Chain A
Amino acid sequence: MFVGRRPGWRLPDNDATPEAVFWSRREALALTASAGFSALARPQRSQAALPEYPPHTSRFGLSQPLTAEKYATSYNNYYEFDSGRARAPQAGSFKTKPWRVVIDGLVEEAQSFDLDDFLGKVPLEERLYRHRCVEGWAMAVPWIGFPLKVLVNLARPLGSAKYLRLESFMDPETAPGQKQFWYPWPYVEALTIAEADNELSFLVTGAYGKALLAQNGAPLRLATPWKYGFKSIKSIVRLSLTEERPITFWERQQPQEYGFWANVNPDVPHPRWSQAWERLLGTDERRPTKIWNGYGDYVASIYATLDKEPLFK
């Protein structure tokens, strides 16, 4: 959590959030105030229920405009809910309340709690992050959440813990994609402890001033903006500290194409396509990909001694 200090990745006011986004957040808060009726009238009830958070909006910025909400919420990869091509995951009966989260493994104090209870206690903040999918598309999203380390430190990791394993939900009845038994469900991702401790590693519960939608990973997802999007696991139910490096979902499925590190790098192509460029959602624009997705100043030091690892796969 920050106290007055402004880290460099928070760009100054001149690149403030577009007004429309700011106001949509205000409206969402107003809706929360009159929650009674919205609970009945709106099927996406969870959309309105987000704890209050300070309007940090203008302190965050990007060197690019935010992606329009309709695109960020409709263009997704969520294989649990569709095969990937349709891009509009139908998560109709997916229940995100109540949502239990467990932290276990090499910790002094394993935890298990209801997410809503926890969100009532942790201060939320808004961050404008770039997001770069390994497929070559990119967006800029105003996430709402809290630093990953806040949650991890709660359980007090042991000195022997070297990795943080994150696991998504498993429920083939509501997520038909999980019936495709050739995929190693549930979705698993992992970070090193240093990566998890980095200030950029962010747990997300909302976006665009509202609670997260199912297709964006409700009710709790990760955002590690210097890595390809598939590292940012959705709908997290379990965080485990481990000594051995976990094998992640895509690493297990297609090790020749996807690795553990998956840091963004324009000069290291995916076997089937170049990573030199990225396409911004909602535009016809193509821009050059930035190494570490533009976040090198904050994360490159993590990897100073890891140069033998395939950091960009």
Chain B
Amino acid sequence: MITPWQDRSGRFYPFKAVVFAGLLLPGVWTAIAFGLGGLGALRLNAAIHLLGIWALRFLFLSLLITPAKEILHWARLVQVRRMVGVAAFAYALAHLLFYVAEQSFDVATVADEIFFRGFLTVGLAALLGLALLAATSTDKMMKKLGGRRWRRLHRLVYAIAVVATLHYLQQLMLGEREPIVMLGLLYWLLLYRLLGVTLAQGPLGLFSVVLMSIAAAVLTALTEASLISVASGVAFGRVLVLNFSLELGIRPAWIVALPGIILACAGIAPRYQALTGMKTPSASAVRPLSRRP
């Protein structure tokens, strides 16, 4: 059994320990704020929202591990992927438990609501999917299923991410930023994978990552404008041009473009070092695998 702070060979792996602590942090913060009255007038409600949003963030983070590994040439990053995915499930489960608590543990009402309210049905579907992946995430299950079948099963995570984002978007208030940002990041994650298996037939180059990030941002802007214009009847173009003003703050599309571009810039360093054959300490930190026998 490997603890959350050990690497595969059983040695203490500080990076993994930090990620583990980071995964616990939002939960601990929520629990403390809940207990001390920091969550406002409807603390159950606030906790539901916080746990749900962190579940989605961690789910996306688990999907970002492979692209980040490829862009940063950081193979050991994969060692935290399972932990991040299981954390997403844990937060989603807590999200549901707090909903049940908010309904005063009235299971009949909960079942009724999940059946009749579309967005709750969708949310439960995502949670069940995550439960399946969490249950099959152990080494034992991996061996039992066999690598090929296991990988195929765990590709389900992309569908789950789509369903979970839909669950979030179904409660969108027009003009609200974060749900649209999450949708845009989902575009980015899906595009990266899609292009990787089609056009690039392997990891994308840095320039492609930048272009793809811009494409994801444009797609986000178009989706946002469509949603608002369909829901309210205002002109599509009028919402779209908002992206070029600060009238209503920084628009989601810009936030969506950012992480991919930053990641691509960070990816220059390991490539440059590989090219020049430099072995600086930072290079070994970026590619620890190459150091190991």
Decide if A137 touches B175 in the complex (CB within 8 Å). no
Decide if A74 touches B232 in the complex (CB within 8 Å). no
Q: CB-CB < 8 A to A254: which residues of B?
A: 231
Q: Report if B2 contacts A (CB, 8 A).
A: no
Complex alpha-carbon distance, A279 and B101, angstroms: 12
Residues B41-63 near A (CB distance < 8 A)? 41-45, 49
Residues A38-92 near B (CB distance < 8 A)? 71, 74-75, 83-85, 87-88
Query: Interface code B98-124, partner A: CB below 8 Å = 1, 0 otherwise?
Result: 000111101001001100111100000
Q: CB-CB < 8 A to B238: which residues of A?
A: 181
Q: Report if A2 contacts B (CB, 8 A).
A: no
Q: CB-CB < 8 A to B119: which residues of A?
A: 272
Decide if A85 touches B42 in the complex (CB within 8 Å). no
Q: CB-CB < 8 A to A183: which residues of B?
A: 174-175, 232
Decide if B104 touches A286 in the complex (CB within 8 Å). yes
Nearest A-chain residue to B233, judged by Cβ: A182
Q: CB-CB < 8 A to B175: which residues of A?
A: 83, 180, 182-183
Contact of B41 among A71, A272, A276 (CB under 8 A): A71
Q: Report if B275 contacts A (CB, 8 A).
A: no
A296 to chain B, nearest CB (A): 24
Chain A residue total in the interface (Cβ 8 A):
29
B57 to chain A, nearest CB (A): 16
B248 to chain A, nearest CB (A): 6
B217 to chain A, nearest CB (A): 21
Residues A85 and B173 in contact in the complex (CB < 8 Å), given A276-B109, A279-B45: yes
Query: Interface code A247-272, partner B: CB below 8 Å = 1, 0 otherwise?
Result: 00000011000000000000001001
Q: CB-CB < 8 A to A85: which residues of B?
A: 49, 173, 176
A42 to chain B, nearest CB (A): 24
Q: Report if A273 contacts B (CB, 8 A).
A: yes
Q: CB-CB < 8 A to B239: which residues of A?
A: 182
A83 to chain B, nearest CB (A): 5
Decide if A273 touches B117 in the complex (CB within 8 Å). yes
Nearest B-chain residue to A176, judged by Cβ: B248
Residues A182 and B173 in contact in the complex (CB < 8 Å), given A87-B40, A279-B42: no
Complex alpha-carbon distance, A178 and B8, angstroms: 55
Decide if B43 touches A284 in the complex (CB within 8 Å). yes
A118 to chain B, nearest CB (A): 32
Contact of A75 among B41, B49, B104, B116 (CB under 8 A): B41
Complex alpha-carbon distance, A240 and B101, angstroms: 45
Decide if A284 touches B231 in the complex (CB within 8 Å). no
Complex alpha-carbon distance, A284 and B232, angstroms: 35
Q: CB-CB < 8 A to B117: which residues of A?
A: 272-274
Nearest B-chain residue to A172, judged by Cβ: B247
Beyond the given A181-B238, A182-B229, please list 10 additional residue pairs across the A-B interface where CB-CB is below 8 A.
A75-B40, A137-B42, A179-B248, A180-B175, A182-B175, A182-B234, A274-B112, A277-B109, A279-B102, A284-B102
Across the A-B interface, the 3 shortest Cβ-Cβ residue pairs: A75-B41, A182-B232, A71-B41
